[in-house]
A and B are shown apart, each in its own frame.
Chain A
Amino acid sequence: MAPQTITRTRNGLGASALRPDGIPKVQGRFAFSSDAWADNMLWGATLRSPHPHARIVAVDVSAALAINGVSAVITADDVPGKLTYGLIASDQPVFARDVVRFAGEPVAAVAADHPETARRALAAIKVDYEVLAPLVDAETAVDGSFAPIHPAGNVIRRQRVIRGDQNFVGDVVVEGTYEIGMQDQAFLGLEAALALPDDDGSGVELFVATQWLHEDQKQIAACLNLPLERVRLTLGGVGGAFGGREDISLQVHCCLLALVTKRPIKMQYGREESFYGHIHRHPAKIFMRHHADRDGTLRRVEARVVLDGGAYASTSSAVLINAVTHMQGPYKCEIATVDGYAVRSNNPPCGAMRGFGVVQACFAHESQMDKLAAACGLSPVDIRLKNAMQTGDRLITGQVIESVAPVARCIRETAALPMPEPLPDEPDPLLIPGGSGLTARRSNIRRGVGWGVSLKNLMYSEGFDDYATARCRLVDGVATLQFATAEVGQGFVVLAQQIARSVLGVDMVLLEPISTAIGSAGSTSASRQTWMSGGAVDGACRRVRERLFGHVAAAHGLDPLRLTVDGTDVVDTTGSLRVPVADAARGVVFDETFAHHHRPTEELDENGQGNCHVAFAFVAHRAVVDVDPDLGLVKVVQVATAQDVGRVLNPLAALGQVEGGIAQGLGLAVMEEIVLRDGKMRNPSFTDYLLPTALDAPSVAVTMIEEPEPQAPLGAKGIGEPPCISVTPAIVAAIRAATGKELPRVPVRPHDIVFG
């Protein structure tokens, strides 16, 4: 008898299963948070400070309240609970009361019958400010020369990493000072929410685009002085996040307006307000000195890191830890002298963005590796291969890298990817630097190649138990999953279905709304949801399968350990029983919940020593650019990459993460920066903050390195952040190779190339 073959399309783990929200999204039927709508709803809007630093002398809302169609105006005096919020330290006021600390800080909010009425109401609020000198230079926060702008002081956190012989001097020493500009997440779907007050005013329901429903719930409830269970959150469709939705933006304002007016409140930011309303990537200044033997063996890294956290702490202290603990890069290094500061200023607040501190560290250490290569007479590839970290090596924190660490393989497989074709003699104008403006001449264009390699920690660090919860229910071959994991575009919704199909042998997997009706899934950040929420869904499905096997075994007098799932059947591995999962336990409901925890981590000691991280992923990037050095114009031609992913669970989704991350890293390399002058943003719009378009995106060549990670529940590492980290230094190295310029700052601007 021929062996049975499974002909049904399974769409389990490893397949390019299609996302369940795909068709609704292409048809315009998917409900983003900005699409939420309720009968009788009012529009909320926020009044923001025009000054980066000022004392509030008086606020007069009477003229705004007198406008027809205005239902409420609220200020700090109307906050019933805690007056501040914050992810790590609760230091940011719901509304500024006595002082404003950044240009764009909320001072009041209104509810009105039309967005235009709300806009007029904001204009009618009179705020009397006494303007103060702003702290805008991070060094004046470090050196203590500026009076504290917040009761918690101007240094949010200082952390050293000290390891090995502090007097060691290498045969070869290279150094440099590097700067990283302030990047914006620029998610397309603007901040938006709909708040529905309970009829008796005792609670509120919020539909909101966020990265972590339960953390929002906790902060909102505290500010509203409500018990947690009276603040219920459901994820509104999220139009991208990239770290920018980890902090509270409009959540408290929206709920408070709903409770005050007793009517549904819709709030949505415009693009300019979005730039004011969420945190950004920390601008950084990093001095680094590398010591090596003559043959290029890295021996010691010295670094001084200053991150400008802006007015409020957000996640600055964790971003700093990531930066200082990743300063060596993916290279063996025994000795370290690192000193890092995250400081407060009157610049816009900074916090999480894809790469989270490691982006800044990587630009510095990879620029240094190229300097070291040149000083030792090695190629960029050889210096990196020579020092490549392996499993069992130590970080400068003393932590042993237990993760799979195929650094050398990432570099070699990137190098093996084909180079792009040379630029033709008469190229289409769209292909040359500057594009169709016909600005660069073919004869001026020089091509350069550059490298970048990085490591990135996965999950939360420093003792934090960022667990994830999931529930699985199986009835007659149909699985239903429930979790609070924020789907922000990354595709967890399809991965969850794939897991259930593979574990349970079912075709149909339904998803409950993503809400606080189940336990926390932690944040969709730190490349953690495939590992953490994936582990939780996997655990819940396995528990259900165990109960299914128990039921089948009891019914047929078998040992449950003999049972397995094959295709969509339950099969006795040593006997003849084969029964479809759908028929194996007719009418019986199996319902299990599972919480996945990663292994515990430790806090760092005062010398920055300790096992503070959970796990690591690695990646290499090679960039090819064309540059017109006279005009300072750059076209990124190709990026090649080999990424350590553990295991590819959905090839299409994985490729999308890699290509998307590369475009964001390209943006930081040559296009994107929030320009500040005296603490004020000069370019809070998509006209002036330039994002990569289809014509800016390079061709991308990808190799996925699959060495399953034993620690990871599915063998898969997080893949979201690594693509955007070392691509930035790779592109800048390529521009340096083409021009001979030092280019110590990103983004590289035309005048940096022409006059640098």
Chain B
Amino acid sequence: MSNEFYALTVNGIRHEVRDAWAGESLLYVLRERLGLPGTKGACEQGECGSCTVLMDGEAVCSCLVMAATATNADIVTVEGLSLDGEPTDVQQTFVEEGAVQCGFCTPGLIVAAHHLLDRNPHPNELEIKEAISGNICRCTGYGRIFAAVVEVRDQRLDQRHDAGGR
């Protein structure tokens, strides 16, 4: 333990982390020190994707990142995808398509799906499956998760099409 502090920028807000053990993972600091328990831990080895967050726009497993090394990154967690409290299209569609059962893998999948659709607006079926294959879900068998991502992709394409036609 030490009296020094480091700063993390999470969901646009700068947080000072004080008196922390330097070995703490970003996942632990988000959950236990910054009051952001939406990001989940389930394997501690980067295998399950439950702890996925965005660091400078890239999807990473926060269990594998030492928090003290993330000081210069712009970090976005599931809580920060929508800043007005309204669910995003991905979040709303996950619920409507039945992609949520126990919900423990869900925050990581929501972040992964946003990441996919933001960098590739029209992924094909295999690209979607590959993009979410780093997130393990034990409840759903992935069918409804896949359907939800396809639905958001199509909704966004329709909106773009509509906007272009006006």
* Interface positions of A (Cβ within 8 A of B): 16, 18-19, 21-23, 25-32, 34-35, 37, 114-116, 185-190, 237-242, 270-271, 428, 430-431, 436, 488-491, 652-653, 655-656, 658-664, 685-687, 691-695, 697, 700
Contacts and interface: CB of A to CB of B under 8 A. Distances in A.
B136 A28 contact: no
A186 B107 contact: no
Contact of A695 (B39, B97, B129): B129
B138 A242 contact: yes
B122 interface: no
Interface in B14-31: 21, 23, 28, 31
A687 B144 contact: no
A28 B129 contact: no
A488 to B, nearest CB: 6
Interface string B138-152: 111111111000000
Contacts of B100: 19, 21-22, 25-26
A695 B95 contact: no
10 contacts: A22-B100, A23-B87, A26-B100, A27-B82, A28-B77, A32-B103, A35-B31, A271-B44, A686-B47, A687-B47
B102 interface: yes
Given A188-B136, A239-B103, A430 B129 contact: yes
A686 B144 contact: no
Contacts of A489: 101-104, 139
Nearest to A241: B102
A269 to B, nearest CB: 11
B121 interface: no
Contacts of B129: 430, 694-695
A445 to B, nearest CB: 17
B40 A32 contact: yes
A23 B146 contact: no
Nearest to B143: A659
A500 to B, nearest CB: 20
A48 B40 CA distance: 25
Given A35-B37, A428-B126, A653-B98, A189 B42 contact: yes
Nearest to B107: A28
B138 A187 contact: yes
Contacts of B95: 18-19, 22-23, 25-26
Contact of A652 (B98, B104, B126, B136): B98
Nearest to A28: B38
Contacts of B154: none
Interface residues of B, number: 58
Nearest to A655: B98
B contact patch SS: loop
A442 B28 CA distance: 45
B8 interface: no
B102 A188 contact: yes
A430 B126 contact: yes
Given A27-B87, A32-B104, A188 B50 contact: yes
Given A21-B103, A22-B95, A190 B141 contact: no
B19 to A, nearest CB: 10
B166 to A, nearest CB: 31
Contacts of A185: 138
Which residue of A25, A240, A488, A658 has the most chain B CB atoms within 10 A of its CB atom?
Answer: A25
B75 interface: no
Given A659-B140, A663-B141, A685-B43, A26 B110 contact: yes
A264 B50 CA distance: 27
Nearest to B24: A116
A723 to B, nearest CB: 9
A687 B45 contact: yes
A563 B98 CA distance: 36
Given A187-B102, A652-B98, A691 B141 contact: no
B60 interface: no
A188 B145 contact: no
A691 B136 contact: yes
A28 B39 contact: yes
B45 A694 contact: no
Interface string B88-105: 001110111110111111
Given A428-B126, A488-B102, A27 B38 contact: yes
B102 A238 contact: yes
Nearest to B137: A188
B40 A694 contact: no
A687 to B, nearest CB: 5
A655 B107 contact: no
Which residue of A114, A241, A436, A660 has the most chain B CB atoms within 10 A of its CB atom?
Answer: A660
A26 B87 contact: yes
Nearest to B20: A114
Contact of B133 (A19, A187, A660, A694): A694
A448 B107 CA distance: 37
A34 B28 CA distance: 12
Contacts of B92: 23, 26
A656 B142 CA distance: 9
Given A18-B95, A656-B141, 13 more contacts: A23-B87, A25-B95, A27-B78, A28-B38, A32-B104, A34-B41, A37-B32, A116-B21, A186-B138, A187-B102, A686-B48, A693-B142, A694-B133
